[in-house]
Structure 1
Amino acid sequence: MDISTQTTDAPPPTPQPTVTEQKRNARGATRPGDRVFLGLSRGSGILLLVIMAAIAVFLTYRASLAISKDHGNFLTTFEWNTNLNPPVFGIAVLAFGTVVSSIIAMALAVPVAVAIALFLTHYAPRRLSGPVAYVVDLLAAVPSIVYGLWGALVLVPHMNGLFGWLDHYFGWTGIFDWQGGAPRSMLTVGILLAIMILPIITNVTREVFRQVPRMHEEAALALGATRWEVVRMSVLPFGRSGVISASMLGLGRALGETMAVATVLSPTFDIQASLLDPGGGTFAQNIASKFGEATEQGRDALIASGLVLFVITLLVNGAARAIIARRKEYSGANA
């Protein structure tokens, strides 16, 4: 039998999709389930934008009513008295207190959260990292009012020693000058907020560090790197965008915290040069404490301050997205 004349029943070649079909498949789904999922996803995104726009329109409208009746400067007035005729109110003290307390909280919480996340993922043994991570997860679920009660009953009475130490060694700066009053100040608020946002930042950062490709770490170890050099060259660059996202998530809670701040702070409409002196206020704390007894005009003024907090939150999120976009080479998707 001539092998050269033998024929085989080979299956016909599978037709390849044309360029037009490839573009159509890339633009949208072709299966019914995919089309339904695509429609739901688009609808959810559009609905979210509509809700955000509706909130912005509502806040802007009510804020314009209040600001048009304000006898003071809304941005620079150190007073909040909406019962006068005409009313006088401003957000200078609230903006200062919100920004300062959030900066203190972030400066204290972010380094500690990153250190805890690195310890749980790269240093702690498995039998220890599991229980510690579980406790951190539980702390993230504690209500803010519980943190506020703990701060008022436990944290504030034990701040005298720290305030005295700061005044003794750093009082000459003016920022840590303490006159011996009750330690219900912006520094106490910042420490309490740092404790509150610490579990959130730690949990997100821990999960990001766990996604570091194992080959990156093994390659660094094969080149003779120490454990810290592996963390510095492989783990931290990979998780940089995740750490930024986790920090912005914690900052969002710090900016909008109400009951914990209202429980610990002694609010006054005055800006203190020292972080240890009682006084100050935040947007969220002022809204929570005054909304119940406010008149319609007073509620419009509080809504106007809420609009400023809304804008600050959007600016912070936009800045975080810009930072992450500039660091795409460090994102997990491009690792």
Structure 2
Amino acid sequence: MPDAVATSPTTSRDPVVARMPMSRVPERLFSVTVIGSGMIVLLLLGAIILMLATGAWPALKAFGIGFFWSPVWDSVNEKFGAGVMIYGTLVSSILALVIAVPLSTGVAYFLTEILPVPLRRAIGVAIQLLAAIPSIIYGMWGFFILAPWLAAHFVLDVADLAAPVPGLNKVLDYGGGNSIFTAGLVLAIMILPLITAMFVEILGATPVVLKESAYGLGCTRFEVVRSVAVPYGRRAMIGAIMLGLGRALGETMAVTFVIGNATRLSPNLFAQGSTIASTIANEFNEAGAGTMKLAALLGLGLTLFIISFIVLAASRALVAPRAVS
């Protein structure tokens, strides 16, 4: 009988086992917190979409699907279309990428491979400080310094060179300092530090053995970048470029200062233009509650949201790992 008493359920209960339910409390709390945070983000996103769609519905109902490509923006006659703003947004953002991506690649490789180690941190911090400058400062610099300089020393000379070339003379025609081109240049300077910082991390993650093997085969530095570093980090670099594009699409104040804010459609890069964000910033205070103009501005906001969603979806598709057959 003593053996039976020693092995009874009451006396043989392990203290560790008894405390196991309490040890799961932090895990459950963490799980609930994470799920709740995700649901809050989804609810906020849904609320934003609902607000934009509800506010823009009168304009979409009045002008139909043609609202998204109509070049007319007439506040007096209450005829509104997003075509000019979509064109200015896309052209200025793509122009910014065309300028910023090659520069970011060169600066990133210079920092990771060519610059002496003691100077890398100092110059890298100096480049990253560009990202900390407020956008309105870029806009003021572009308006007071860059735009007048371009008008005096660049625009007319380039237009003279392009004048004899059919087609090109329409894209690079005579214009002024405040233009789509200036907006694209300012945006390029703004997204340059963002893309550069990510490129530095991507190029720095390239295995040293791969680069040394390429150098051992007689490759030049350019060939190592083209054939080793870029292919190795291609997906991450595409993600960095798309992140820079997203920043350029939504920029407001800097673009508002330098683009000219003209609601007319022109293929000329040196002509004044307008973007979705700059139009909303300029005209939102003039739109009264319940007016068609306010609905059209909210429609522009919905359009920018759709464009940003398409860019995000494209970036996800481009960086997604491919299945090896």
**TM-score clears 0.5:** yes
Give, in whole Å, the separation in 2 of the partners of 1:328 and 1:202. Answer: 29
Give aligned-pair identity as a percent. 38
2:142 maps to 1:151: yes
Deviates more, 1:153-162 or 1:36-45: 36-45
Give, in whole Å, the separation in 1 of the partners of 2:200 and 2:112. Answer: 7
Structure 2 residue matching 1:290: 3-state secondary structure: helix
Relative distance call for 1:168 and 1:68 in structure 2 (3 A) is same
Structure 2 residue matching 1:154: 3-state secondary structure: helix
Letter in 1 for 2:161: Y
Q: Contact 1:258–1:284 at 8 Å: present in 2 too?
A: yes
2:93 maps to 1:74: no
Give, in whole Å, the separation in 2 of the partners of 1:67 and 1:41. Answer: 37
Q: For residue 303 of structure 1, report the CA deviation from its aligned partner.
A: 0.7
Q: Contact 2:155–2:176 at 8 Å: present in 1 too?
A: no
Give, in whole Å, the separation in 2 of the partners of 1:306 and 1:71. Answer: 16
Give, in whole Å, the separation in 1 of the partners of 2:258 and 2:194. Answer: 21
Deviations 1:198-237 (A, max 9, x none): 1111111111222222333334344554433333333212
Q: Give the TM-score normalised by the residue count of structure 2.
A: 0.84
Q: For residue 252 of structure 1, report the CA deviation from its aligned partner.
A: 1.0
Relative distance call for 1:120 and 1:195 in structure 2 (3 A) is same
Letter in 2 for 1:74: F
Relative distance call for 1:45 and 1:208 in structure 2 (3 A) is farther
Q: Contact 2:55–2:298 at 8 Å: present in 1 too?
A: yes
Structure 2 residue matching 1:212: 3-state secondary structure: coil
Q: For residue 273 of structure 1, report the CA deviation from its aligned partner.
A: 2.4
Q: Contact 2:162–2:173 at 8 Å: present in 1 too?
A: no
Unaligned runs of 5+ in 2: 1-22
Q: Contact 1:166–1:176 at 8 Å: present in 2 too?
A: no
Residue 127 (structure 1) aligned to one of 118, 121, 138? 118
Letter in 2 for 1:135: A
Unaligned runs of 5+ in 1: 1-29, 330-335
Alignment-derived partner of residue 85 in structure 2: 94
Alignment-derived partner of residue 18 in structure 1: none
RMSD (CA atoms): 2.3
Relative distance call for 1:135 and 1:242 in structure 2 (3 A) is same
Alignment-derived partner of residue 202 in structure 1: 196
Alignment-derived partner of residue 130 in structure 2: 139
Q: Contact 1:174–1:273 at 8 Å: present in 2 too?
A: no
TM alignment of 1:23-172, pairs within 5 A: 32-70=25-63, 73-82=66-75, 84=77, 87-160=78-151, 161-171=153-163, 172=165
Alignment-derived partner of residue 17 in structure 2: none
Give, in whole Å, the separation in 2 of the partners of 1:155 and 1:55. Answer: 36
Residue 250 (structure 1) aligned to one of 235, 238, 244? 244
Deviations 1:27-49 (A, max 9, x none): xxx95544443433333233222
Q: For residue 122 of structure 1, report the CA deviation from its aligned partner.
A: 1.2
Q: Contact 1:71–1:88 at 8 Å: present in 2 too?
A: no
Alignment-derived partner of residue 312 in structure 1: 307
Q: For residue 54 of structure 1, report the CA deviation from its aligned partner.
A: 1.7
Q: For residue 182 of structure 1, report the CA deviation from its aligned partner.
A: 2.6
